[in-house]
Structures are given as structure tokens and as C-alpha cells.
């Protein structure tokens, strides 16, 4: 079984992004990262995003607010960031605390600055195969890895485990745009093992540690693991038991160092695209 590491894909993407940045003469794209509270997963993603952007030469500003900030105060603060002409892209780390009206924020964000697809307008574009918007970064990272691996999706049986708006549903739409025949599994799926076993391309986004084992994977399948979990030993792991499927899968992405590594590069690419759109360079 081949292991496809995210860094291989990141290096390939970096060359293209450097060329795009060179085309924006005299301007450096600017990403605003908005965080409420100090959730460990938010902080980890924030560090990765800042590191990736700064490495490429993209400006990054973190706007952090206490977890007990009032709903109205946060809406005012977010509105100011949204209206700031110096900001090209906005990454809102979610979920927000329950007392904040997240739906109102997603409806407020400027779609051109919405680099992680939380706006209903960008979500609709993903579902209508309109590439003028931004897809969720992690879903697009999966597609980048599939492309890098040279997998022709036309006519292939692809199964997605998970139906969230962050991964499952958008990546299913993106797979269909590439002419794959797509099945989406979820907690109410009957015979999930058999359904997954029929897949030539398997996307695991269930959020359950090492759920996908050899009983779910067909011989020669391509497996892309989107899960971020902690196993019984306290180690980070994915949704896939990579050791158990090694004699079956043709290719698998690891966790860590897999899809998550590519996600921040997709984010950076979206910021560059947003800057080019806003500055009239495309």
C-alpha cells in the first residue's frame, strides 16, 4: 500500500501559489483569522494556518475574543473586520459558543472574503458546481490529494462516510462534478461495511477513531482519511485503521501528516484568489 503524505501535495501547490502571488504586483494578500475562546483544536489550526500563510508571504492577523463575549459585541466586531478593505479573506474558527448566533454571522460574511465556505452563497455554489466561490478548505484538500495521486474519478464508485456540511456533503458534490458515482454513508446507513466495501474511492469523515478497518475496504481501493481523533493511548489518529487495511488498499492518507496538512495550503490559495478577485487581477 502506498502512503500519500500531505507535504508532497503542499510542495506541488506552493509553486503555483508563488506564481499567483508574483502576479499581484505591489500587494500582499491579507487573511483575518477570527477566534472566540481558546479551544485546543482551534489554536492548533490557527497556528498551522498562520505558519503556512507567512511561509508563502501572506499577511495574517488573528482577532481573538474571550469565550464570554456577548452576541451583539461579537457581531459588531465581526462586522468591522468584514467591512475592512484591507482584509481579503476571513477564516472564522467554529463552532462558536452557543450564546453567539452563528447563523447570523454566516449570513453576514462577504462571500468574496469567505475563504472557508460558511456563507450560504458559497455553499450554494458548491452544490451547483459553480467554481467562482470557495469550497470548504478540508473538502477541497481531499480533492487536491485525489488529483495529485492521478486518480481519474470518471465512472468510479466513490463512497463518503459522513454527511456534515464541512466535509461529507460538499466533497460528495465535488466528486460528482468529476463524474464519480457517489454514495454517502451515515449513522442510519444499513450495511455500511458492505457499502464501503464496494467503493473504489473511500473518503472517511465519520469522526470515529479507527472505525474503517479491513471489513470496510475493497482490494485496490484508494482511501482518504479526514478524521482527527485520539486513540486509547492518547495519540492522534484518523477514522481509518491504516495498519489493518494495508494489505487491501492501494493508497491511503495518514493521520497526522495527511489531509490536514493540505487544508492550510488550500486556505492560503483561497486567500490569494480572494485578493486577486478583489483587486481585479483575474
Domain endpoint, select from 116, 148, 177: 116
Position 55 scores a pLDDT of 94
Each residue's pLDDT tens digit, 110-166:
999 999 999 999 999 999 999 999 999 999 999 999 999 999 999 999 999 999 999
Extract the C-alpha cell encoding 78.
465581526
Does 246 lie in the same domain as 172? yes
CA angle 166, 176, 105 (to 5 degrees): 25
Question: Which of these, 208, 209, 230, 212, lies nearest to 221 by C-alpha position?
Answer: 212
Question: Which CATH number is 248's domain given?
Answer: 3.40.50.720
Q: What CA–CA distance (Å, rounded) separates 60 from 48?
A: 12
Does 112 lie in the same domain as 44? yes
Query: Does residue 273 fall inside a structural domain?
Result: no
Does 240 lie in the same domain as 154? yes
How many domains, in total, are found in the chain?
2
Each residue's pLDDT tens digit, 161-205:
999 999 999 999 999 999 999 999 999 999 999 999 999 999 999
Domain with 68, as residue range(s), is: 24-116
Q: Which ranges constitute the DSSP H helices of 128-258?
A: 137-148, 168-177, 192-197
Does 110 lie in the same domain as 154? no
**Bigger pLDDT: 269 vs 282:** 269
Q: What CA–CA distance (Å, rounded) separates 7 from 128?
A: 31
Q: Is the pLDDT of residue 1 over 90?
A: yes
Q: Is the pLDDT of residue 29 over 80?
A: yes
Each residue's pLDDT tens digit, 199-246:
999 999 999 999 999 999 999 999 999 999 988 888 899 999 999 999
Query: Does residue 279 fall inside a structural domain?
Result: no
Does 33 lie in the same domain as 107? yes
Extract the C-alpha cell encoding 206.
465519520
List the end-to-end C-alpha distance of the chain, in Å, as a whole number.
Answer: 41
Residues 6+ apart with CB under 8 A from 246: 1, 252
Does 167 lie in the same domain as 100? no
237: number of Cβ within 10 Å: 20
Does 173 lie in the same domain as 60? no
Q: Is the pLDDT of residue 282 over 80?
A: no
Q: Which ranges constitute the DSSP H helices of 5-136?
A: 6-23, 40-56, 71-83, 102-108, 120-127
233: left (phi over 0), alpha (psi -120 to 50) or beta: alpha
Query: Does residue 68 fall inside a structural domain?
Result: yes
Does 249 lie in the same domain as 145? yes
**pTM higher than 0.85, yes or no?**
yes
Does 94 lie in the same domain as 50? yes
pLDDT band at 36 (very low <50, low <70, confident <90, very high): very high
Q: What CA–CA distance (Å, rounded) separates 81 from 87?
A: 7
Position 230 scores a pLDDT of 87
Question: Which CATH number is 105's domain given?
Answer: 3.40.50.10860
Does 112 lie in the same domain as 28? yes
Each residue's pLDDT tens digit, 39-97:
989 999 999 999 999 999 999 999 999 999 999 999 999 999 999 999 999 999 999 99
Does 256 lie in the same domain as 142? yes
Does 219 lie in the same domain as 249? yes
Amino acid at each position: 500500500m502506498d502512503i500519500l503524505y500531505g507535504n508532497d501535495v503542499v510542495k506541488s501547490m506552493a509553486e503555483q501559489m508563488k506564481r499567483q502571488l508574483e502576479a499581484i504586483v505591489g500587494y500582499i494578500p491579507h487573511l483575518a483569522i477570527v477566534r472566540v475562546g481558546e479551544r485546543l483544536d482551534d489554536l492548533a489550526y490557527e497556528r498551522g494556518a498562520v505558519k503556512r500563510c507567512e511561509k508563502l508571504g501572506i499577511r495574517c492577523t488573528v482577532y481573538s475574543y474571550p469565550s464570554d463575549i456577548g452576541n451583539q459585541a461579537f457581531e459588531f466586531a465581526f462586522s468591522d473586520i468584514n467591512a475592512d478593505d484591507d482584509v481579503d479573506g476571513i477564516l472564522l474558527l467554529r463552532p462558536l459558543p452557543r450564546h453567539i448566533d452563528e447563523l447570523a454571522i454566516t449570513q453576514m460574511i462577504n462571500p468574496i472574503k469567505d475563504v472557508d465556505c460558511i456563507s450560504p452563497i458559497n455553499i450554494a455554489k458548491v452544490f451547483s458546481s459553480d467554481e467562482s466561490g470557495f469550497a470548504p478548505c478540508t473538502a477541497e484538500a481531499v480533492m487536491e490529494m485525489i488529483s495529485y495521486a492521478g486518480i481519474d474519478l470518471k465512472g468510479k464508485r466513490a463512497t463518503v462516510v459522513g454527511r456534515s456540511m464541512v466535509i461529507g456533503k460538499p466533497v460528495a458534490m465535488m466528486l460528482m462534478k468529476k463524474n464519480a458515482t457517489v454514495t454517502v454513508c451515515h449513522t442510519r446507513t444499513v450495511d455500511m461495511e458492505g457499502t464501503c466495501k464496494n467503493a473504489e474511492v473511500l473518503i472517511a469523515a465519520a469522526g470515529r477513531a479507527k472505525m474503517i478497518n479491513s471489513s470496510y475496504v475493497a482490494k485496490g481501493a484508494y482511501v482518504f482519511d479526514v478524521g482527527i481523533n485520539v486513540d486509547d493511548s492518547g495519540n492522534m489518529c484518523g477514522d481509518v485503521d491504516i495498519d489493518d487495511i494495508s494489505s487491501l488498499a492501494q493508497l491511503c492518507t495518514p493521520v497526522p501528516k495527511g489531509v490536514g496538512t493540505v487544508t492550510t495550503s488550500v486556505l492560503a490559495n483561497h486567500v490569494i484568489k480572494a485578493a486577486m478577485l478583489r483587486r481585479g487581477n483575474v
